[in-house]
Amino acid sequence: MTQPVWLSERVQWIGAFDPGMRSFDIILKTPNGTTYNAYAVRGSEGVAVIDTVKAECAEQFFAHLEAVARYDEIKVIILNHLEPDHTGALPELMRRAPQAKLYISQSAQLMLKALLNRKDLDFTAVITGDTVSLGDRTLRFLHTPYLHWPDTQCTYLEEEFILFSGDVFGCHFCDKRLYNDKVGDFRFAFEYYYTHIMRPFREHVINALALIEPLTINIIAPTHGPILRDQPTRYIERYRELSAQRLQNEINAEEKTLIVFYISAYGSTTQMAEMIREGAEQVPGVRVSLYDMEGGDTDLFVDLVEDADGILVGSPTINGDAVKPAWDLLSSFAKINVRGKLAGAFGSYGWSGEAVRMLEDRLRGLKMRLPLEGVRIKLIPSLEELEQCRQYGLEAAEHLMGVNAPRVLEMADLLAARKQTTEELSVVTI
Amino acid sequence: MSKYNITFADIGTTVNVSRGTRIVEVAEKVGASIPFGCKENDCGDCMIEVLIGAENLSKPSPLEIELLKEKLAKPSNRLACQAMVLGDVTVKPA
């Protein structure tokens, strides 16, 4: 059995090693496993336990905890993040230390109730600036939601300048030497973790950094991977860099960017895309880019989309569906935040033309805003239909710039338009 | 049935709707930039700010009040998936 690791006279790592883990939360590869880091802080008036571990690793956690404290000394249990890999051992810890008070983020309350399914739950919800005293040690809370769940927070040990950061600054890397100046090369794991876990919450990372950067920090103690005691502020600086825009911004503040992605079997959807661009470019301040998905790579496109203000996606309908490159592009948006960006779809079709409406539904599902119904054109666009595309591009760009004419609509018309489309589709499909 | 106007200030769009229409039903159709998640008073994604006519929305349920509190909402905030239009109102994303 491994031993607890002493960060200081009063602070111990009491977590667990999971070297055999090979994929995490389905989406992450973990080639050398991970750690679940939990900590104990001893004050003159009791002990705080900060986070726990995955249920399967509870035995290691309790052995480490018992080596540094008795259960009846535990006054406080702080949960920086409620995901089961950090709360798996919580029910058993609560059973063994029933007197301990739970401290969770203001935004974690409903989640905690759903996690523990207990009616008699007693806890304190905290926010930035709130503290809990252990006598000669004080723990201060930082409200850092959405890093990477709504419930996440950080906890700062004031007297020792240690930041218990939850998943922030963490990574999946299992090395029993545990300190960043002792373990193997984990740079890739740190970057990979940011890209897959934190990147979709870029705005929240920036808000959290504003709370963290003013602190004096000797040690960052995250819930996964190495404890960062050697030059901890370098990792904060790296988060600052990673949360900045990926691409050098060549757009001035008054301009907005619209990207038109398209793919075409016989050139009709290409013609539509080109006319949409022509229309959009009529609106001052809109920078339009046109990309053929057939010639691109979604990993590169996703960097463009992250910084774009609006995107339009054009796909023909083949076998009643949008084509795979269009779906691949849309599925890559889960890596970034596209919420609230303007979006739309268009495309040519042979007989049933489902692609556009299916893409629109998916774009709405991604929480993008679709102010206009996309253009669907049967086979080769006529001159009138190309004019319709130009008008669509123009209106999309006006919505993007916020210069569209105010509209007054009837709900009944909106409902009828949708119904008509559905009927039209079902008739043709049969 | 009585008809009222709901205006989405962020996109300059007004929709004439029947009394009792939930904001979510309209917002998605006109492409207002109010994001929706669960649409059942759980995630809080669809929080809006009511600019004019807060009294013309249905009163929040105890569950909506609980969630708004947890999300540190302002008094002018509501959830678009819960609030029903009972008079003229102007909203924007929170």
* DSSP string for A1-36: ----EESSSSEEE--EEETT--EETTTEE-TT-EEE
Query: What is the token pair recorded at A285?
Result: 């301040």
Q: What CATH number is associated with residue A321?
A: 3.40.50.360
Boundary (domain end) residue, out of A191, A214, A242: A242
| Chain A residues within 8 Å of chain B (Cβ atoms) | 106-107, 109-110, 125, 127, 150, 339-340, 364, 367, 369-372, 399, 402, 404-411, 414-415, 418
For residue A307, the SS3 value is helix
Between A and B, how many residue pairs show a Cβ–Cβ distance under 8 A? 72
Boundary (domain end) residue, out of A242, A268, A284: A242
Do residues A368 and A340 lie in contact, with contact meaning Cβ atoms separated by under 8 Å?
yes
Do A23 and A155 belong together in one domain? yes
Q: Which helix (H) or strand (E) holds A205?
A: helix A202-212
Do A421 and A386 belong together in one domain? yes
pLDDT for the residue A428: 40
pLDDT for the residue A276: 98
Boundary (domain end) residue, out of A242, A264, A283: A242
Give the gap in angstroms from C-alpha A107 to the nearest C-alpha of chain B.
5
pLDDT at A427 over 50: no
- How far is A237 from A15, CA to CA, in rounded Å? 26
Do A233 and A264 belong together in one domain? no
ipTM of the complex: 0.84
Q: What is the pLDDT of residues B44-79, one digit of tens each?
A: 999 999 999 999 999 999 999 999 999 999 999 999
pLDDT for the residue B59: 97
Q: Is residue A247 part of a domain?
A: no
Are A371 and B14 within 8 A, CB to CB? no
Query: What is the token pair recorded at A339?
Result: 């919420």
Do A34 and A141 belong together in one domain? yes
How many helices (H) and strands (E) in chain B?
A: 2, 5
| Mean pLDDT within A122-129 | 96
Give the gap in angstroms from C-alpha A188 to the nearest C-alpha of chain B.
33
For residue A160, the SS3 value is coil
Q: Is residue A249 part of a domain?
A: no
CATH number of this structure's domain B3-93: 3.10.20.30
Are B16 and A410 within 8 A, CB to CB? yes
Do residues A359 and A326 lie in contact, with contact meaning Cβ atoms separated by under 8 Å?
yes
Do A307 and A221 belong together in one domain? no
Residue boundaries of the structural domains of chain B: 3-93
Q: What is the pLDDT of residues A205-239, one digit of tens each?
A: 999 999 999 999 999 999 999 999 999 999 999 99
Do A218 and A268 belong together in one domain? no
Do residues A391 and A362 lie in contact, with contact meaning Cβ atoms separated by under 8 Å?
no
Q: Is residue A412 part of a domain?
A: yes
| Mean pLDDT within A55-83 | 98
Interface test with B, best of A141, A361, A409 (most B CBs within 10 A): A409
Are A110 and B42 within 8 A, CB to CB? yes
Q: What CATH number is associated with residue A96?
A: 3.60.15.10
Q: What is the pLDDT of residues A167-191, one digit of tens each?
A: 999 999 999 999 999 999 999 999 9
Do A303 and A400 belong together in one domain? yes
Are B12 and A402 within 8 A, CB to CB? yes
Do A262 and A384 belong together in one domain? yes
Containing structural domain, residue A262: 256-429
How many domains does chain A divide into?
A: 2
pLDDT band, residue A429 (cuts 50/70/90): very low
Q: Is residue A129 part of a domain?
A: yes
- How far is A148 from A144, CA to CA, in rounded Å? 9
pLDDT for the residue A250: 67
> What are the two backbone dihedrals, phi and then psi, of residue A101, each rounded to the nearest 5 degrees?
-95, 140
CB-nearest partner of B11 from A127, A399, A418: A399
ω into A64 cis (within 30 of 0): no
Q: Which of A273, A278, A279 is nearest to A291 (CA)?
A: A273
Describe chain B by its helix, strand, coil percentages, rounded to 5: 20, 30, 45
Do A177 and A289 belong together in one domain? no
